[in-house]
Amino acid sequence: MKKGSIAFLLLVVFAGSGFAKDISFKWGIIERLRQEYLKNWKDMENSTGENDNYFRIRTSIWGKLDFDSQFSVYAKLTNEFKPYVTPSKRGDIHELVFDNLYVDLKNIFDSPWSLRIGRQNIIYGEGFLFIDGTPLDGSRTIYYNAIKATFARDKLRIDFLGVDSPRQDEYFPIVNNRNKNLVEAKERGIGYYAQYDINENWHLEQYYFYKTEKNYKKIKKGVVIETFQKTKLNTIGGRIVYKNSPWRIRSELAYQFGDYGTNDREGLGGYGFVDYTLQDVKFTPTVTIGGVYLSGDDPSTSDNESWDPLFSRWPYKSELYCYILSMEKSIAYWANMQLYKLGLNLKPTEKDSLDLAYMYLRANENTYASQPAFSNDGKERGHILQLIWKHTFNKNLSGHIQIEYFHPGDYYVDTADDALFLRWQLLYKF
């Protein structure tokens, strides 16, 4: 692929344009402004050197060229830079990257098959397995370099896809290249994702993915502190959603098996949540209760029993805790966890939404016993309080405020301090 990927996309564009009848073009701009404050997230020691206060300014421009109803090309360029308040860091314009660049071929030869080729965003379900192909650049981008073939007929849809996530961008040019790492080591995957609506109440999903991860070393202050082996992993599972007002029930379960270096690897992950909405009550409250289970690696065995989040390293249930997880394998590496959540959503106005949540977290294994910041035998990760307020100003402008507070349990050392995350955001779409 690499340089050939660009040539291939251009070839498809020019070939398709020869058959086009009605060409149209749309474009837009997306501007996102955030300020974030993080306290005690690196090792939960209450010191000013562990507090970050910075802005995230992301600008995207996109364009879509429709040659006809079956053939189109989409491209998006993105830049994000982070001016720091504390600690003092350089926060310049940084990289200008191709966030998306793909070709769409719909209903090929009037068949149920469609094809999307190139750099694209892919999200399935609630993001339990598939949402972010570039976890190390935060929310700057979430793309995959992928080929996705889709079969859609009646209430059935099946995506067959192959993805490639290199450690750094290898396929498209970058303006002001800073050699930004997108993932710790090269990842590749192939599989399918099927979705079926039985009726208006029941929705089913089933999937299988095979993924490989190259080995890599975790380095801190120039010292190798942990080595991770090459992984070959199979993931098979499914998701079910039941909706019948005022109830909504959603659950997902997946099993993983394969190799971790020369040893066996297997993992189990899933969740179940129940939502209940009181339609005739002021502010239309929705109460949510449920939990998440992600297996952990037993340090007393040579095998690896840890859940692998596959392509879902993102702020799954907590923005703050995905940063705290960097003390373990890596940032947003959701594994070795039981998470129990009680949530409440309120809609004070048509333009406002307020989410309140309490989460209790436990570890299944004390994998990092005796390492800095971790206790020898505790399994209580701690408690999270979360508030998210969202407001829509108009069709172009929206914003939110998010506050998270974490109180550590005995999974960490007795001296571990509480952690805090604050963010405000404005998002403009034109």
CB 233 within 8 A of CB 258: yes
Omega cis (within 30) before 246: yes
In the chain, what are the domains? 3-429 (2.40.160.100)
One digit per residue, pLDDT tens: the chain, 430 residues?
455 555 555 555 555 555 555 789 999 999 999 999 999 988 887 765 678 999 999 999 999 999 888 999 999 999 999 999 988 776 666 899 999 999 999 999 999 999 999 999 999 999 999 999 999 999 999 999 999 999 999 999 999 999 999 999 999 999 999 999 999 999 999 999 999 999 999 999 999 999 999 988 887 777 777 788 899 999 999 999 999 999 999 999 999 999 999 999 999 999 999 999 999 999 999 999 999 999 999 999 999 999 999 999 999 999 999 999 999 999 999 999 999 999 999 999 999 999 999 999 999 999 998 888 999 989 999 999 999 999 999 999 999 999 999 999 999 999 999 999 999 999 999 9
CB 163 within 8 A of CB 189: yes
R_g of the chain, CA atoms, integer Å: 22
Question: In the numeric block, which tokens belong to residue 52?
Answer: 């970050």
372, β-bridge pairs: none
Distance CA 373, CA 366 (A): 12
